[in-house]
Amino acid sequence: MQQILIHKEAQDVETTLERLGLQVHELQEAAKANFLAQASCTANDAPTAPGFIGWNASVRAIREFLIARGWDRKDIKNSPRIVNSEGNISIMVATGDEATGNPHVIPKTKSHKGTTTRSAVYGNESQSTLFSEDAIPHVIPVASIGQSSRSTWVLLVHVHIDEASEKPRHYVRCELSRPVGMDDAGHIVAWGERIILPEITIDPDDLTDTTENFAPEQEIILQRKA
């Protein structure tokens, strides 16, 4: 059984991300964009809107950060990715369950994924089998197995919006992890490596400016042209 390598200490997280050409704040801002997009929704939005709008906001944010530093935008059969200039590291965004960002439990994606993702996950799994468990942590993260091999990572984001309490606690948990297994339903359920990012706590008072422009009570006045 393959051992999961988990990075959770601040220095280890930063160093591991640097080897991948990434920075902590970029991934956190992409995750926070998910939250802010969901928070902008109202009861008048479609029930499925917050999830999609939030996911898309994270996709856009991480692409904007990394394209500015030489990464390439790729859309593989409608599956949005961002790929480094060497072509050996690919990142996708997915919504995770409550275990996201918790090093003590194993997270999974909330929605099922298609054949494109399954192929990428199988590629990761195949790469892992080339090495012993002790060697994997030193090889896979920096994609040193060859330029032709691409390691796919998932920015897994879980958004919690507390609407039930007088003093709500909103937060975002996220991690950048390398998937190696999916279940029959198409959810990613196994990971070879997980980089746990610090939890983002959102002050409810900071949401006022974000949500006020989306209030359903806004009056719209129509005037007939002269």
Query: What average pLDDT does range 71-90 have in this prediction?
Result: 95
- Render pLDDT for 198-219 as a digit per residue (tens, 0 to 9): 999 987 766 655 444 333 333 3
The total number of structural domains that make up the chain: 1
Confidence check: pLDDT of 128 > 80: no
pTM confidence score = 0.82
- Does residue 220 sit within a domain? no
- Does residue 143 sit within a domain? yes
Polymer length in residues for the chain: 226
- Name residue, tokens 């439990």: 105
Neighbours of 65 (CB within 10 A): 18
- Does residue 105 sit within a domain? yes
Confidence check: pLDDT of 191 > 70: yes
Please work out, in degrees rounded to the nearest 5, the angle formed at the alpha carbon of residue 107 by the alpha carbons of 97 and 181.
Answer: 125
pLDDT recorded at residue 221:
37
- Does residue 221 sit within a domain? no
Burial 25-57 (b: 16+ CB within 10 A, else e): ebbbbbbbbbbbbbbbbeeeeeeeebbebbbeb
Please work out, in degrees rounded to the nearest 5, the angle formed at the alpha carbon of residue 170 by the alpha carbons of 108 and 6.
Answer: 35
202 forms beta bridges with 170
- Does residue 67 sit within a domain? yes
Range of the domain at 185: 5-214
Q: Pick from 153, 141, 158: which is nearest to 58 by CA? A: 158
Residue 7's pLDDT band (boundaries 50, 70, 90)? very high
- Does residue 142 sit within a domain? yes
- Does residue 226 sit within a domain? no
- Render pLDDT for 53-62 as a digit per residue (tens, 0 to 9): 999 999 999 9
